[in-house]
Structure formats: C-alpha cells, structure tokens
Amino acid sequence: MPTENRNLPAIAIKYQGWILMFDAGEDVQRQIERAGLGTNKKMAIFVSHMHADHLLGLPGLLLRFSLLGRIKPLSIFGPKELIEYIKMNQSTINLGTTFEAVVHAIEPGVVFQEEDLAVRAFGVDHRGYALGYELTIQKPTGEFLPERAEELKIPKGPLWSELAEGEDVQLEDGTTIHPTQVTGPRPDPVKIVYSGDTRPCQALREASQNATVLISEAMYTIEHEDLAAERGHSTAKAMAQIASESNVGLLVLTHYSPRYFDGLDILREGKDIFANTVLARDLMRIMVDKDGKYTITKPGLKPPTKFQA
C-alpha cells in the first residue's frame, strides 16, 4: 500500500522520444507530472498482472491525458482481463479518451518492437497469471570504421550514415556494400528487466542473464521467507542471488512491504549478496548510456524511518 513518499509500482523508461511505463499503480497520474514526463509523448504501458496495486492508477492516468488534450495513440499491454477492466471503467465512470487507446491481451513473447527497441514478456511465478518484462536496445551495427569505408572507395556523406545505421548501400558501379564490411562487432544489447511480482523462478533468471539493470520486487527479508513463498513474492536475498548468478550490472529493489519503513533492512540484505544493489525511491532517475553504463542522476524521495513514523 502507498505510504509517505512511497507510492505503488510505476516505472518509466525514456528512449528516443518514447516513454515505456511498466505498471500503473495508484496516483501514477500525479507522479508522471512530478517527473516531468509530459502527457502527449509516444507511449506504451505494460501491466504485469491484474492486482489492484499494479493498475488502479491506469484509469486516472487515461482521464488526465484526455483532460490535458492528448492526441497521440497509446498502446496498453497485459493479461486478457485488462480489456474487460478498461471496458468496465469506460461504462461505469464515463472514461472516454481524446486519443486512440488500444489494449492488447498478450502471452509470453515479443510484444513491442520499434526499430532497435523491443519488449519481451515472460511468465513469472506469482498468484495467478503474471508477467515480467525484458526491454532490450540492440544497435544494428558496431562502431563505424572510416578507414574501411575509404578502402572500399565509398564516398563520404549519406552513404556512410546509412551504413552506420545498418543499411546496405549501392555504389555507382553497382557494387553492394553491407554494414558488416565497414563496422566493428555489434555490441551487446542494453537490457533492462522488470520482474513484476514473483517468487524466484527460472524464467526471471533467464531473462536477467547479462542484464544491464534488473528492477525487482523484494517484498520481504529472509526473516519472512515463509510469507514470501506463501504470497507469491520474493526476499531481497533471493533476488540478490539471481542478480549475482546472472551477471546483472545493477539490481534495483522495489515494492517492499511497509513493515520495513525506509527499506534499509531490504537494502542491507541485498547488498550482503550483491554489492551493486540500490533501493528504488519515488522519482529516482537512473541514466543508462549506449554502452550499458549506469548513473543514478536523482536519488528520489526517502520514506520516513521507523523512528520517524
């Protein structure tokens, strides 16, 4: 449940004019304004499962977008029940939109593709049908090598740009040049994984392999491991073990129980296993560059400690 300075799950990833949002917890419409993300950007929303704390904010967000004049279409992805949920809100609270909003009922697999950006859904182990998401950014080529282009007598200019972007080009004499002839090895993709709500499971381990960032729930510490198993959640220790075994770059622990107040017990347990662990905060910002290097550019809001509560 939401507490002071800590709302429910809603994670936004910005990339080349797109905003991809994962889950839409209560009060996301206000948080998106506080984060300065705008209301009329190219956008897609991915819902992990049909539990209230992950989607109660969606109707309010759609209404806010309409009131503020959004015109760009919006795609929403999630379990098939999401279609009925949106229809029910349309009929009972007069939820109309000024823009095209399409809800997609999805199964595991690639559900979104936009040039070098892709999102793959995978099944996780919660209570009922639940999904995690793997976002990848795969550049089509490696570094452009001007000396090779010159050796092949490719005129400097637009043809160089096309080859650097992964396109074949044809020279005046009819010779076709492929990007691999003038570029270095293709780099590993930048990969960001969102666990949704889940017990530790093999699908999450596989998705997390070599992830740049793993954003994972950590509802409990090991002290309450029995509750985690019973309620379909994870401990900080279990998620840190997955991060360590999967060669993750940065582990971001989120969605922890209010019983841990400021979450420092969760953070300590995670860092004991995997040093590159941080605790998610509302309005935290993490910059990931094209080489997969990450920087926390804004630490976010800190909830009160148990002594302040």
Active site residues: 53
One DSSP character per residue, the chain reads --BTTB----EEEEETTEEEEE---TTHHHHHHHTT--SSSEEEEE--BS-HHHHTHHHHHHHHHHHTT--S-EEEEE-THHHHHHHHHHHHS----SS-EEEEE--SEEEEEETTEEEEEEE-BBSBSBEEEEEEE--SS--B-HHHHHHTTPPSSHHHHHHHTT--EE-TTS-EE-GGGTB-PPPPPEEEEE--S-BS-HHHHHHHTT-SEEEEE--B-GGGHHHHHHHT--BHHHHHHHHHHTT-SEEEEE---GGGTTSHHHHHHHHHH-SSEEE--BT-EEEE-TTS-EEEEE--BPPPPTTT-
Q: In the chain, what's the furthest Cα-to-Cα distance?
A: 77
Residue with tokens 């509750």: 227
Q: How far apart are CA 246 and CA 86, in angstroms?
A: 37
Q: How far apart are CA 157 and CA 169, in angstroms?
A: 12
CA distances from 160 to 140, 141, 166, 184, 251 (A): 14, 12, 10, 14, 38
Pairing of strands 18-22, 42-46: parallel
